[in-house]
Amino acid sequence: MTEETTELTLPSRIEAIAEAAAKADEVAGRLRLSEDAAFGLDMAVREAVTNAVLHGNKQDASKPVEIAFTDAGGELVVTVRDRGTGFDPANVDDPTAKENLLKASGRGILFMRNFMDTVEWLPHPEGGTVVRMTKKR
Amino acid sequence: MAELSINERQAGDVTVLDMSGKITIGEGSVALRGAIRKLIEEGKKKILLNLSQVSYVDSSGIGEFVASFSAIGREGGQLKLLNLTQKIQDLLAITKLLTVFDTYDDESSALNSFK
Protein backbone atom coordinates (compact mmCIF):
# COMPACT_ATOMS: atom_id res chain seq x y z
CA MET A 1 0.00 0.00 0.00
CA THR A 2 1.33 3.45 -0.88
CA GLU A 3 1.43 6.07 1.84
CA GLU A 4 1.27 9.71 0.91
CA THR A 5 2.68 12.28 3.32
CA THR A 6 2.25 16.04 3.29
CA GLU A 7 4.74 17.89 5.47
CA LEU A 8 4.86 21.45 6.68
CA THR A 9 7.39 23.26 8.89
CA LEU A 10 6.35 26.56 10.40
CA PRO A 11 7.90 29.10 12.78
CA SER A 12 6.35 29.32 16.25
CA ARG A 13 4.08 32.27 15.59
CA ILE A 14 0.33 32.59 16.09
CA GLU A 15 -0.05 32.97 12.30
CA ALA A 16 1.28 29.43 11.89
CA ILE A 17 -1.93 28.04 13.37
CA ALA A 18 -4.10 29.29 10.51
CA GLU A 19 -1.50 28.13 7.98
CA ALA A 20 -1.53 24.63 9.45
CA ALA A 21 -5.33 24.61 9.46
CA ALA A 22 -5.38 25.67 5.80
CA LYS A 23 -3.11 22.73 4.97
CA ALA A 24 -5.41 20.43 6.97
CA ASP A 25 -8.36 21.67 4.90
CA GLU A 26 -6.39 21.02 1.71
CA VAL A 27 -5.59 17.46 2.83
CA ALA A 28 -9.21 16.88 3.84
CA GLY A 29 -10.34 18.01 0.40
CA ARG A 30 -7.84 15.81 -1.38
CA LEU A 31 -8.88 12.79 0.69
CA ARG A 32 -12.56 13.68 0.23
CA LEU A 33 -13.26 13.57 3.95
CA SER A 34 -16.84 14.22 5.01
CA GLU A 35 -17.71 17.74 6.13
CA ASP A 36 -17.78 16.63 9.77
CA ALA A 37 -14.45 14.81 9.51
CA ALA A 38 -12.87 17.80 7.79
CA PHE A 39 -14.14 20.13 10.52
CA GLY A 40 -12.75 17.81 13.19
CA LEU A 41 -9.38 17.54 11.44
CA ASP A 42 -9.17 21.33 11.11
CA MET A 43 -10.01 21.77 14.79
CA ALA A 44 -7.61 19.09 16.04
CA VAL A 45 -4.75 20.48 13.94
CA ARG A 46 -5.44 24.03 15.13
CA GLU A 47 -5.40 22.93 18.76
CA ALA A 48 -2.29 20.76 18.42
CA VAL A 49 -0.37 23.52 16.64
CA THR A 50 -1.63 26.09 19.16
CA ASN A 51 -0.20 23.95 21.97
CA ALA A 52 3.08 23.50 20.10
CA VAL A 53 3.45 27.24 19.43
CA LEU A 54 2.32 28.51 22.83
CA HIS A 55 3.30 25.84 25.33
CA GLY A 56 5.93 23.70 23.60
CA ASN A 57 7.96 26.36 21.83
CA LYS A 58 6.72 29.32 23.88
CA GLN A 59 6.35 31.44 20.72
CA ASP A 60 10.10 31.33 20.05
CA ALA A 61 9.95 31.85 16.28
CA SER A 62 13.37 30.24 15.86
CA LYS A 63 11.90 26.94 17.02
CA PRO A 64 9.99 25.11 14.30
CA VAL A 65 6.69 23.31 14.50
CA GLU A 66 6.73 20.30 12.19
CA ILE A 67 3.42 18.96 10.93
CA ALA A 68 2.88 15.84 8.84
CA PHE A 69 -0.29 14.37 7.37
CA THR A 70 0.05 10.75 6.26
CA ASP A 71 -2.65 8.98 4.33
CA ALA A 72 -2.09 5.44 5.56
CA GLY A 73 -4.89 3.80 3.63
CA GLY A 74 -7.60 3.21 6.18
CA GLU A 75 -6.65 6.12 8.36
CA LEU A 76 -5.14 9.57 8.32
CA VAL A 77 -2.20 10.05 10.70
CA VAL A 78 -1.30 13.58 11.79
CA THR A 79 1.83 14.39 13.76
CA VAL A 80 2.81 17.74 15.24
CA ARG A 81 6.27 18.10 16.74
CA ASP A 82 7.45 20.91 18.97
CA ARG A 83 10.87 21.55 20.51
CA GLY A 84 9.64 21.93 24.06
CA THR A 85 10.73 20.21 27.23
CA GLY A 86 8.03 17.57 27.26
CA PHE A 87 4.36 17.25 28.01
CA ASP A 88 2.32 14.93 30.19
CA PRO A 89 -1.42 15.09 29.42
CA ALA A 90 -2.11 13.55 32.83
CA ASN A 91 -1.15 16.91 34.35
CA VAL A 92 -3.91 18.74 32.48
CA ASP A 93 -7.07 19.48 34.45
CA ASP A 94 -10.39 18.16 33.15
CA PRO A 95 -11.99 21.31 31.66
CA THR A 96 -15.47 19.81 32.04
CA ALA A 97 -15.11 19.42 35.81
CA LYS A 98 -17.41 21.83 37.62
CA GLU A 99 -14.53 23.71 39.25
CA ASN A 100 -12.87 24.29 35.85
CA LEU A 101 -15.87 25.30 33.75
CA LEU A 102 -15.18 29.02 34.09
CA LYS A 103 -11.50 28.81 33.26
CA ALA A 104 -10.66 30.70 30.08
CA SER A 105 -8.24 28.09 28.76
CA GLY A 106 -7.49 24.37 28.82
CA ARG A 107 -10.03 22.99 26.30
CA GLY A 108 -7.74 22.28 23.34
CA ILE A 109 -6.87 18.71 24.29
CA LEU A 110 -10.54 17.96 24.91
CA PHE A 111 -11.30 19.04 21.34
CA MET A 112 -8.39 17.02 19.91
CA ARG A 113 -9.57 13.89 21.70
CA ASN A 114 -13.18 14.51 20.74
CA PHE A 115 -12.57 15.01 17.02
CA MET A 116 -9.86 12.41 16.39
CA ASP A 117 -9.99 8.64 16.99
CA THR A 118 -6.69 8.46 18.88
CA VAL A 119 -4.37 11.10 20.34
CA GLU A 120 -1.06 10.34 22.03
CA TRP A 121 1.99 12.32 23.09
CA LEU A 122 5.45 10.87 22.53
CA PRO A 123 8.91 12.21 23.29
CA HIS A 124 10.88 12.72 20.07
CA PRO A 125 14.30 10.99 20.15
CA GLU A 126 15.99 14.21 18.97
CA GLY A 127 14.11 16.44 21.42
CA GLY A 128 10.70 17.92 21.83
CA THR A 129 7.30 16.28 21.87
CA VAL A 130 5.25 14.73 19.10
CA VAL A 131 1.50 14.59 19.31
CA ARG A 132 0.23 11.79 17.08
CA MET A 133 -3.42 11.78 16.07
CA THR A 134 -5.32 9.35 13.88
CA LYS A 135 -8.65 9.49 12.15
CA LYS A 136 -10.27 6.52 10.40
CA ARG A 137 -11.39 7.27 6.87
CA MET B 1 -10.62 41.60 5.61
CA ALA B 2 -10.74 41.24 9.38
CA GLU B 3 -11.13 37.75 10.73
CA LEU B 4 -14.05 38.87 12.88
CA SER B 5 -16.29 41.88 12.40
CA ILE B 6 -18.44 43.08 15.26
CA ASN B 7 -21.42 45.40 14.86
CA GLU B 8 -22.84 46.92 18.02
CA ARG B 9 -26.48 47.93 18.35
CA GLN B 10 -28.76 48.82 21.21
CA ALA B 11 -32.12 47.09 21.87
CA GLY B 12 -33.55 48.90 24.88
CA ASP B 13 -30.98 48.49 27.62
CA VAL B 14 -29.48 45.39 26.01
CA THR B 15 -26.41 45.75 23.83
CA VAL B 16 -26.39 43.29 20.95
CA LEU B 17 -23.10 42.40 19.27
CA ASP B 18 -23.74 41.00 15.79
CA MET B 19 -20.59 39.09 14.97
CA SER B 20 -19.46 37.76 11.64
CA GLY B 21 -16.41 35.63 10.85
CA LYS B 22 -14.13 33.47 12.93
CA ILE B 23 -13.41 33.64 16.65
CA THR B 24 -10.05 31.92 16.85
CA ILE B 25 -6.75 32.47 18.61
CA GLY B 26 -5.21 35.80 17.71
CA GLU B 27 -7.22 38.41 15.87
CA GLY B 28 -10.74 37.06 16.42
CA SER B 29 -10.38 36.44 20.14
CA VAL B 30 -8.62 39.78 20.65
CA ALA B 31 -11.42 41.61 18.80
CA LEU B 32 -14.11 40.07 21.03
CA ARG B 33 -12.09 40.81 24.18
CA GLY B 34 -11.67 44.44 23.13
CA ALA B 35 -15.37 44.83 22.36
CA ILE B 36 -16.40 43.43 25.75
CA ARG B 37 -13.85 45.59 27.59
CA LYS B 38 -15.20 48.70 25.84
CA LEU B 39 -18.79 47.85 26.81
CA ILE B 40 -17.79 47.34 30.44
CA GLU B 41 -16.00 50.71 30.45
CA GLU B 42 -19.17 52.30 29.08
CA GLY B 43 -21.19 50.73 31.87
CA LYS B 44 -23.12 48.44 29.52
CA LYS B 45 -23.85 45.29 31.45
CA LYS B 46 -26.58 43.50 29.50
CA ILE B 47 -24.92 41.92 26.53
CA LEU B 48 -26.22 39.55 23.87
CA LEU B 49 -23.76 37.94 21.48
CA ASN B 50 -25.42 37.13 18.15
CA LEU B 51 -23.42 34.25 16.68
CA SER B 52 -25.52 33.49 13.60
CA GLN B 53 -22.77 34.61 11.21
CA VAL B 54 -19.87 33.14 13.16
CA SER B 55 -18.49 30.38 10.98
CA TYR B 56 -15.85 28.96 13.28
CA VAL B 57 -14.78 29.04 16.93
CA ASP B 58 -11.74 27.27 18.40
CA SER B 59 -10.88 26.61 22.05
CA SER B 60 -9.47 30.11 22.35
CA GLY B 61 -12.77 31.56 21.14
CA ILE B 62 -14.73 29.38 23.54
CA GLY B 63 -12.36 30.58 26.27
CA GLU B 64 -13.10 34.16 25.27
CA PHE B 65 -16.86 33.53 25.68
CA VAL B 66 -16.14 32.24 29.19
CA ALA B 67 -13.81 35.15 30.04
CA SER B 68 -16.43 37.63 28.77
CA PHE B 69 -19.18 35.89 30.74
CA SER B 70 -17.08 36.10 33.90
CA ALA B 71 -16.00 39.71 33.32
CA ILE B 72 -19.59 40.90 32.79
CA GLY B 73 -20.75 38.83 35.74
CA ARG B 74 -18.17 40.47 38.01
CA GLU B 75 -19.71 43.84 37.08
CA GLY B 76 -23.15 42.59 38.08
CA GLY B 77 -24.24 42.16 34.47
CA GLN B 78 -25.27 39.32 32.21
CA LEU B 79 -23.92 37.93 28.95
CA LYS B 80 -26.09 35.62 26.86
CA LEU B 81 -25.74 33.90 23.50
CA LEU B 82 -28.08 34.11 20.51
CA ASN B 83 -28.36 32.04 17.31
CA LEU B 84 -25.71 29.41 17.90
CA THR B 85 -24.78 27.45 14.80
CA GLN B 86 -24.94 23.67 15.17
CA LYS B 87 -21.13 23.51 15.30
CA ILE B 88 -20.90 26.06 18.12
CA GLN B 89 -23.71 24.31 19.98
CA ASP B 90 -21.75 21.04 19.65
CA LEU B 91 -18.60 22.68 21.03
CA LEU B 92 -20.51 24.10 23.99
CA ALA B 93 -22.00 20.64 24.62
CA ILE B 94 -18.58 18.96 24.49
CA THR B 95 -17.21 21.47 26.98
CA LYS B 96 -20.36 21.28 29.16
CA LEU B 97 -20.73 25.03 28.79
CA LEU B 98 -24.35 24.72 27.72
CA THR B 99 -24.90 24.36 31.47
CA VAL B 100 -23.24 27.75 32.01
CA PHE B 101 -24.56 29.96 29.22
CA ASP B 102 -28.11 31.08 28.59
CA THR B 103 -28.65 30.46 24.89
CA TYR B 104 -31.52 31.54 22.63
CA ASP B 105 -32.77 30.83 19.12
CA ASP B 106 -34.76 34.00 18.70
CA GLU B 107 -33.86 37.54 19.55
CA SER B 108 -37.10 38.66 21.17
CA SER B 109 -36.98 35.80 23.69
CA ALA B 110 -33.36 36.63 24.39
CA LEU B 111 -34.09 40.33 24.92
CA ASN B 112 -37.08 39.57 27.17
CA SER B 113 -34.93 37.29 29.32
CA PHE B 114 -32.88 40.28 30.50
CA LYS B 115 -35.95 41.97 32.04
Q: How far apart are CA B10 and CA B29, in angstroms?
A: 22
- What value of ipTM does the predicted structure carry? 0.93
Domain of B17: which CATH number?
3.30.750.24
> Which residues in chain B have Cβ-Cβ distances shorter than 8 Å to A102?
66, 69-70, 100
pTM here is 0.95
Q: Residue B70's domain spans which residues?
A: 4-113
* Cα B72 to Cα B94: distance, rounded to the nearest angstrom: 23
- Quick check: B98 contacting A, CB < 8 Å? no
Q: Which residues contact B114 (CB under 8 A, 6 or more apart)?
A: B13, B14, B46, B48, B78, B80
Numbered residues of chain A with Cβ closer than 8 Å to any chain B Cβ: 14-15, 17-18, 39, 43, 46-47, 50, 95-96, 101-108, 110-111, 114
Predicted confidence at residue A137, as pLDDT, reads 85
Question: Which of the four pLDDT bands, split at 50, 70 and 90, describes residue A1?
Answer: low
* Domains with residue ranges and CATH for chain A: 4-136 (3.30.565.10)
Number of domains in chain B: 1
pLDDT digits (tens, 9 = 90+) for A80-111: 999 999 999 999 999 999 999 999 999 999 99
